[in-house]
Amino acid sequence: MKKTIIAFVAATFAQGAIAQPPDLQAWTRIAPAIQAALECRAEPNLKDPDIEQLLSFDGDITEKAAPAGFTVFGMPVEHITLVQGEDDDERPALSATSLFAKASLADVSKAAKLGTKDHTRQAPAGTLMASMGTGNKAQISCSFAAK
């Protein structure tokens, strides 16, 4: 299965550890689409020239700095990952994940209005699911509906 993984580090940029993105205007244009994808409201247009340029969909893991203050469901994001590939039936598949630095699983579930037991819900663009991710930090993922 071919995967493309793209990562942003928002919290690190806010602390000044990562340089500003090379094209802040382009990032500003794509931020609403990326936020909508991470909140499972809409699938991002991966053919958008700004998204292609800034996310560098080339098969490698690429870390990018996002502007300070980037949030998902109103909570500051530490790390964002988009994964593009195929599902088990070889249909195109896409998922978007936000890792939160200082939020508990309960905080994320409440902000995203997820079920309290299974931490999932159907959203307009796919399925949202919260879990514990890297470094025992809360994360939320949107798995977009296969087309």
Q: What is the mean pLDDT of residues 100-105?
A: 88
Domain extents in the chain? 4-144
Distance CA 27, CA 55 (A): 10
**pLDDT (0 to 100) of residue 55:** 66
Query: In sequence order, which residues have a C-beta less than 8 Å from that of residue 119 and are 6 or more positions away?
Result: 105, 108, 109, 129, 130, 131
Q: Identify whether the C-beta of residue 89 lies closer than 8 Å to the C-beta of residue 75.
A: no
Give the model confidence (pLDDT) of 20-53 as tens digits.
Answer: 444 667 777 888 998 999 999 999 887 888 777 7
